Amino acid sequence: MLINIVSSLKTVLSPPDDNPELLQAKFSAFSRQVPIMYALVVLNTLALAVTHYGRAPDWLTLYLPGVLDAICIWRTAMWWRSRHRTISFEQAIRWLRSTIALAGLLGAGFSAWSLSLFSYGDAYMQGQVAFFMGVTAIGCGFCLMHLRSAALLVMALVVVPFTAFLGSSGNVVLASIAINFAIVAIAVTFMLLTNYSEFEQRVNSGSALRAKQAELQAMSDTNLRNSNTDILTGLPNRRHFFAELERRMAVAAADPANKRLRVGIIDLDGFKPINDVHGHLMGDRLLIAVAKRLRARLDPAVFLARLGGDEFVLISDRVTDRQAAVAARKLLIDIFEAPFEIDDLTVRIGCSIGYAEFPKVAKSAEDLFERADYALFYAKQHDRGGIVGFSAVHEATIREASVIDQALMNADLERELWIAYQPIVEAKTFQTVTFEALARWKSPALGNVPPIRFIVAAERSGLIAQLTPMLLRKALEGAATWPEQVRISFNLSAIDLTSPLSILKIISVVENSGVKPSRIDFEITETAVMGNLALATESLNALKALGARISLDDFGTGYSSLSCIRELPLDKVKIDRSFITKIEDDPAACLILRTMIGLCTGLGYECIVEGVETHEQAQFLRTEGCRFMQGYFFAKPMRVDRVRDYIAASNCGALQLEEASGWTRSVVSSIGAPQR
């Protein structure tokens, strides 16, 4: 019981050392009120001492009040000095503890002093003492409100002796003053305690609110970080890249004389086959390894981010002079020099880079990025593994492309598009076995636009989905009138292969054409299928299920691995024209072509060599066992009305095969000039 009372008393009389926030709040509220309290005590003491001077002994009117006031003034000075100082939690505890102890001492001291004066005065002066004690105790209680223990201590040390002293005086007036004072003191103490608990609640709810706010802030910081970070590699992501690009461009624009910056987009070469063959998990780990290596080797001032897939992007404001640019080029090539080791697998990949410079080629972040992207596209097409900067030539090409885009949008496609046919001949007999359908566009505004241009434009704008079925319908209309044994070969674009809807449209065109699907070859390119191997394979299987055959066009120009090609349901491979062009003067080219023909036939594909232009090339291919050929040596692409004559003439010509050297030329001259 006693122990419980002592421990409760200890709790009430101690500052809150388990709640730093409450303690700090008390300290700051308290430090504002302490000077007022001491001023009140000192002035009241002076008033009492002055009236009793001469009546009471000097030690009661001069020395004792002097000492007590001096202590008050010293404490005031200490609090005053500390008002702007930031103090630690431990210091605050020490201060408040010493204040509570001193409150006890001063409370007891002033009580004893004022009660000692009581016997020296008349009734008025005794009233003054009672008034002094009551007013000072209540004033101090209010000033100490935020330090509950000190307030209670002072009240107790003044009120208890005061009521006891006056109550036991035997004087009815004094006893009634004592009772009044005790009632007021109880009411004041009650108010103090209520106020104190409200204060505590306010501080605690404030600190809970602040804790909640801090938690929310931390959550919002994490969200911000996550929304700006690429989860896989930990690099900044696309959104962060654009924000940083805008920021750096604004800085550079403010100092146009000195500041230039470059945006470079890095696209990994050879990543997709690894991803397809070894799985996405391996692909992810390779991307992480690439990100780590890039970050470790690039200058820390270079901002590096991952755009998504196998594309990374960097912003540099250092690579401005020629020497630095050359060094940066070398570094980027070096970074991919060493293979990547992932578990037991050693993989080698490269990269193509396109970059654009601010403010030289673009003024806005979007334009700058688009130009770097175009340079990358160019690198992928023409300089794989290289670094290409966006130039004036590219600008002109883009302008031209946009003119083509516009013209294509406004074209009457049904009227302006037509099909040219180029024969593919059997190497042994020189007999025409197939015609490749090649799209032609005569635009009223631009004249003849090569297919390589308008097909790319149609792919870009999405018009290809409409174009391919239309071209196929036109191509099959021609083929429907040919002898049954003559096949038709039709080129599909990458977008056709990755759109199930397009494949359905293509199937429907075939079914309505009157041409047996078994007479049709669909040509696809490596690059077209590698974009999405799984979907492309599904599309090709659907076409094969129809009865059509599949040819891999321009073989040798793409960057797919043979193992990927083996996955495709192919029937034929067309070796790109670039392999035949050099065979007359380059023995190595002969060897390469021979190997490619051997490879295709060895894998069970029918082999066609494109771009045969001379008799010597044709002879070489015949001796190498190539089965089919296509090229200007036999015929250029021709209009549909010439095809029937060509078939008739070529079949005649084929009979004279043994004296073949002048054969093709005579066939071509018999049907007139070729049409491009």
- Among 76, 352, 422, 560, the residue binding ligand C2E under the rule CB under 6 A is 422
Residue 45 binding result from Mg ion, ligand C2E, none, given CB thresholds of 5 to 8 Å by partner type = none
Residue 432 binding result from ligand C2E, Mg ion, none, given CB thresholds of 5 to 8 Å by partner type = none
Whole-number Cα distances in Å, 189 to 40, 141, 150, 183, 194: 19, 8, 12, 10, 9
Dist. CA 311–CA 570, nearest whole Å:
30
In this complex, which beta carbon is closest to ligand C2E, that of residue 16 or of residue 423? Answer: 423
Residues 55-84 that bind ligand C2E (CB under 6 A): none
In this complex, which beta carbon is closest to Mg ion, that of residue 459 or of residue 610? Answer: 610
Q: Does 611 bind ligand C2E (CB under 6 A)?
A: yes
| Sole window of 257-265, 394-402, 627-635, 643-651 interacting with ligand C2E (rule: CB under 6 A) | 627-635
Q: Quote the tokens at residue 221.
A: 């910081």
CA angle 160, 165, 166 (to 5 degrees): 105
| Sole window of 317-325, 489-497, 502-510, 539-547 interacting with ligand C2E (rule: CB under 6 A) | 489-497
Q: Does 230 bind ligand C2E (CB under 6 A)?
A: no
| Sole window of 5-13, 367-375, 624-632, 667-675 interacting with ligand C2E (rule: CB under 6 A) | 624-632
Q: Does 270 bind ligand C2E (CB under 6 A)?
A: no
Comparing C-alpha atoms, which of 454, 396, 382, 419 is closest to residue 643? 419
**Bridge partners, residue 264, by sequence:** 314, 355
The nearest distance, CB 486 to Mg ion, in angstroms, is 17
Whole-number Cα distances in Å, 100 to 133, 149, 192: 19, 7, 16
In this complex, which beta carbon is closest to ligand C2E, that of residue 378 or of residue 522? Answer: 522
In this complex, which beta carbon is closest to ligand C2E, that of residue 14 or of residue 527? Answer: 527
Residue 593 binding result from Mg ion, ligand C2E, none, given CB thresholds of 5 to 8 Å by partner type = none
- Among 276, 317, 554, 624, the residue binding ligand C2E under the rule CB under 6 A is 554
**Bridge partners, residue 267, by sequence:** 311, 352
Residue 632 binding result from Mg ion, ligand C2E, none, given CB thresholds of 5 to 8 Å by partner type = ligand C2E
Residue 526 binding result from ligand C2E, Mg ion, none, given CB thresholds of 5 to 8 Å by partner type = none
The nearest distance, CB 351 to Mg ion, in angstroms, is 27
Query: Quick one: DSSP state of residue 256?
Result: T
Q: Does 613 bind ligand C2E (CB under 6 A)?
A: yes
Q: Quote the tokens at residue 613.
A: 């232009």
Residue 567 binding result from Mg ion, ligand C2E, none, given CB thresholds of 5 to 8 Å by partner type = none
| Sole window of 131-139, 150-158, 186-194, 630-638 interacting with ligand C2E (rule: CB under 6 A) | 630-638
The residue ranges of DSSP E strands in 479-605, in sequence order, are 487-491, 520-525, 549-555, 572-575
Residue partners of 296: CB distance under 8 A and separation at least 6: none
Dist. CA 77–CA 205, nearest whole Å:
33
The residue ranges of DSSP E strands in 284-338, in sequence order, are 303-308, 311-316
Whether the CB-CB separation of 588 and 607 falls below 8 Å is answered with no
- Among 142, 242, 340, 632, the residue binding ligand C2E under the rule CB under 6 A is 632
- Among 449, 631, 640, 654, the residue binding ligand C2E under the rule CB under 6 A is 631
Q: Does 471 bind ligand C2E (CB under 6 A)?
A: yes
Q: Does 498 bind ligand C2E (CB under 6 A)?
A: no
Q: Quote the tokens at residue 452.
A: 């390589």
In this complex, which beta carbon is closest to ligand C2E, that of residue 517 or of residue 674? Answer: 674
In this complex, which beta carbon is closest to ligand C2E, that of residue 373 or of residue 553? Answer: 553
In this complex, which beta carbon is closest to ligand C2E, that of residue 20 or of residue 556? Answer: 556
Q: Does 493 bind ligand C2E (CB under 6 A)?
A: yes
In this complex, which beta carbon is closest to ligand C2E, that of residue 103 or of residue 575? Answer: 575
In this complex, which beta carbon is closest to ligand C2E, that of residue 372 or of residue 629? Answer: 629
Comparing C-alpha atoms, which of 633, 476, 490, 474 is closest to residue 550? 490
Q: Does 553 bind ligand C2E (CB under 6 A)?
A: yes
Dist. CA 188–CA 538, nearest whole Å:
88
The nearest distance, CB 619 to ligand C2E, in angstroms, is 15
Residues 435-454 that bind ligand C2E (CB under 6 A): 438-439, 450-452
Whole-number Cα distances in Å, 428 to 431, 434, 602, 626, 662: 8, 15, 19, 9, 16
Neighbours of 317 (CB within 10 A): 18
| Sole window of 31-39, 376-384, 488-496, 505-513 interacting with ligand C2E (rule: CB under 6 A) | 488-496
Whether the CB-CB separation of 249 and 317 falls below 8 Å is answered with no
The nearest distance, CB 230 to Mg ion, in angstroms, is 38
Comparing C-alpha atoms, which of 453, 454, 468, 457 is closest to residue 498? 468
Residue 455 binding result from Mg ion, ligand C2E, none, given CB thresholds of 5 to 8 Å by partner type = ligand C2E
Q: Which conformational region is residue 73 in: left (phi greater than 0), alpha (psi within -120 to 50 degrees), or beta?
A: alpha
Whole-number Cα distances in Å, 350 to 70, 89, 236, 287, 649: 85, 59, 22, 12, 50
Dist. CA 173–CA 293, nearest whole Å:
95
In this complex, which beta carbon is closest to ligand C2E, that of residue 477 or of residue 613? Answer: 613
- Burial class from Cβ neighbours inside 10 Å (0-12, 13-18, 19+) for residue 556 reads middle
The nearest distance, CB 434 to ligand C2E, in angstroms, is 12
Residue partners of 363: CB distance under 8 A and separation at least 6: none
Residues that bind Mg ion (CB under 5 A): 491, 523, 553-554, 610
- Burial class from Cβ neighbours inside 10 Å (0-12, 13-18, 19+) for residue 122 reads exposed
Each residue 522-551 as x (binds ligand C2E by CB under 6 A) or -, in order, gives -x----------------------------
| Sole window of 55-63, 85-93, 339-347, 626-634 interacting with ligand C2E (rule: CB under 6 A) | 626-634
Residues that bind ligand C2E (CB under 6 A): 422, 438-439, 450-452, 455, 471, 491-493, 523, 553-554, 577, 610-611, 613, 630-632, 637
